[in-house]
Structure 1
Amino acid sequence: MNLEASIRAADLPAAIDLLRAGADVNRIGPGGLSPLMIASGLGQPQMVELLLTAGAPVHAIEPRMGSTALHKAVQSGNSDVVGLLLDHGSFIDQQSPVLGNTPLMDAVLNKHEDVVRLLLERGARTTITNHWRQTALSLAHDDRLDTIARLIKARNEADAEQIRALALITAVKAGDISEVERLIAAGTPVNERTPITGDFDDDYTPLGLASREGHADIVRVLLDAGADPQRVVGLMRGTPVHEASYFGHADVIRALMANPGRAGAPAPEIDAQGPYNGLTALHDAVWRGHIDAARALIDAGARLDLRTHAGRTPGELALAYGYDGLAKILDEAERE
């Protein structure tokens, strides 16, 4: 008996023995499925936990439709398996490339109310559309799944209410420094975050939004109140310095680097590289052609030698985009 056969037979002792004997937990079978995908699709929580403990990767995709173990788990309807995969880092909103379906959509299509509820509780986005431009809610309506539709609607309403309750976020976006100061004095947390709902403001802090919108005066107020400039913001997982640099707000960059925060407050990570593309704040400023922002970063000591995931330094990026003025500034900085 091989590992796949032991999984299909739900023979946990045999699977344990095979793994101890060196069976490959990552071996893809003739159908293109990994052992973890098979166990997840069959709804076997103990087997899934065993395979995860043995090092099975949760992010692998099968070659025909591009689905993951999480897609298979929601099709099985076993919420325990879904929870295990999420606990081990599965991407809750990953879309299969052929259909564009998220796990939430598959849970709706398979009429698994408990799994839909779990995914919503764990933060699955409801606004994503598949390749037929259907959302999870429209799929529920199309199949007359009234209870599931109500669950999704309730989540949407809860998200909207949570956003409305973020008074500091609202004041920052409006550039209302008086209201920002009033809310801080009233004890509003300065590091609150927006929920992830499929909006441009997803997962931002007040400081991240103030940096993005160019409100340097509000940035100073937030820093002085203890806002953390090292907290990543937005779906790109950048920093407030990235935000200010991308949008060309040199005055915000200078405010962040001056960091007039409370004693012991962390300094911004000026050279942090984004996980998606490896860009630093200086790369962002160069990419967008913002000379003043690039100068502010250079003056603050930004490194000139770091490379993006495509292998380019800020100077090389400037040359690639034909920004001769920026390239000259960067070249002069390197010579100093």
Structure 2
Amino acid sequence: MVARTLFIAGCLAAVVSSAGRDVRLADAAQQGDAQAVRALLKEKVDVNAAQGDGMTPLHWAAFNDDLDVATLLISAGASPKATTRVGAITPLLIACKNGNPAMVKAMLDAGAGPNTANADGATALMTAAISGSADTVTLLLKRGADVNARESAHQQTALMFAAAENRAGVITALAAHGADLEAATTVVSLEEDKLDDNGNPLPKKETEAGSTVTGGNTMMGGMTALLFAAREGHLDAVRALVATGANVNRLSAGDHSSPLVIAVSNGHYEVGQFLVDHGADPNLANVDGLTPLYATIDMQYAPVSWAPNPLTVQEKVSHLELMKSLLAHGANPNAKLTRKLWFRPTSHNQQWISTVGTTPFWRAAQGTDEPAMRALVAGGADPRIPSAAGTTALMVAAGLGYAGNFSQNLPDSWLAAVKYCLELGLDINAADNQGYTALHGAAYRGDNGLVTFLVEQGARLDARTRRGWSVTDMANAPSLRSSVPLAHPDTIALLLKAGAPPLTPIEGETILGSGRKAAPPSPEMVAYVGWMRTVSFSSNSLKKSIEDRQADAVQMDAQTLADIFAEVREYWTRSNTGDAAGLAKSALDASMNLKAAAAAGNWPEAGAAMKTISGTCGSCHTAHRGEKTPDGRYSIKK
């Protein structure tokens, strides 16, 4: 009691405001001190005087969910329309966040608008939807709140906020008042805009639509409420949305993921099973060709990244149960990925075997999940389908593409997965486009038991990759994309004893932690790449460089350019760069565009082409550096 009296005395004596205003009432409301509030109101203190950030006494009453203090303030003339300095937050928005219908009613009765929004366009209804109070939501709707209003940042609606927060009761209330179940967020392009020197956008060429320079998906967004709920694994929200009529097969306009694909690719198998049971199409694929069946096995063995993966062990439905259900509902077991998954992995990428063109069986083999492999074969999977690069299921089951502290597999299952592949008739000596075989994979992992088994089954010991690496070299920790390549001396000894070739010498050393060095680059390639490393993308710099003839790069004829990028393609192939052919073609096309634009004096277009070339050929910059000669041109670095 003494403390309260002292506090009241202090409030009556103090004026705390950088602007010289009396903010004692706001301070008292902030502390939830009704006695001090009454005393200050008797003094006729300004009931709307705000603190430095714009918080008024009524803001604080709403924040504390103190209806008694709010009633006192409103009776004294407090405005429910006052806004904070940052964000334009009103007392009504704060009250809606707490989800107290009595407080919200008091604000509305005092004159607050039911469609009040903050600086980003987020309305009171959206805030109430987040709170989960169906009563508050219903009150706002009855008072005239726009059920389909959109905030300005992403065009999200109240229904989307409710779905993302798993507010099933709110979803039902919104749907009953006409919420658009199929409303979607804004679609955003992830492509870089190319601008001229004046900041004006340059037109995109048709050839750039499928550019492999940046890779991954180029559009994001287009999310519906059901997609939000599915992504977060909110089963209650998904149930409510489906019950009110949401389309279970509506694709996102960004990456074209269905609710089923987006649920499963985030590890939400139980939500996935619910969607399958309620009519979800098991064959709808996203822009990468990712189907629900592939997504299920892929998420189960998602590689380790810097962002934690979902814990599928928490799901009530196992990956194997969901896969069998998908197959029973007509899922195509042989659907292929059309390109690398844009989200796999999100960071810390150590993949050195392409997944393009792979099937669910291939992915199950990579996870060495024999039960899943058998379930897929029982459902009609063709185990002989390789990746687009010719990598077979047997190769990845043996360890091709494996990276320590990155790859995920069913424990103690390598031999079982390999045996099953051989049982199905896969060729033990098949080689992919880079020359890798199953034995290369087993040797790289240092799996002596599997190496012995493969050799006993007839695996060739003399197989070499396109780099010239033997199976023995693979056991000696060649640098691929694994952050921790480990040499396996015991595996090397085992292979040598079995008759494998000795370690390949490179300039007096054996392959260890580095790839076989490429042949020296051609003078033309060095001249082109060396010149490219020194020139700015800006129109003026590029124009001056070409006019000053610092290099003959732009003067090269079409055949010379074609030869250069054929050499670049071979370099990328040796260094395990993703789509080497596609990247080289993109760079060659841009080089021809540069040549034509420079000849026509179209320097903005020439700069745009130069940027594409440089972005594509970044890896060449460090591999083949040129040196200026006295005449200002470039030659091979000595």
TM interval, short-chain normalised? 0.3 to 0.5
For the pair shown, the structure with the greater C-alpha radius of gyration is 2
Q: Quick check: which one's helix share is greater? A: 1
**Could you state the TM-score of these two structures normalised by the residue count of structure 2?**
0.27
User: Under a length normalisation based on structure 1, what TM-score does the superposition of the two structures give?
Assistant: 0.47
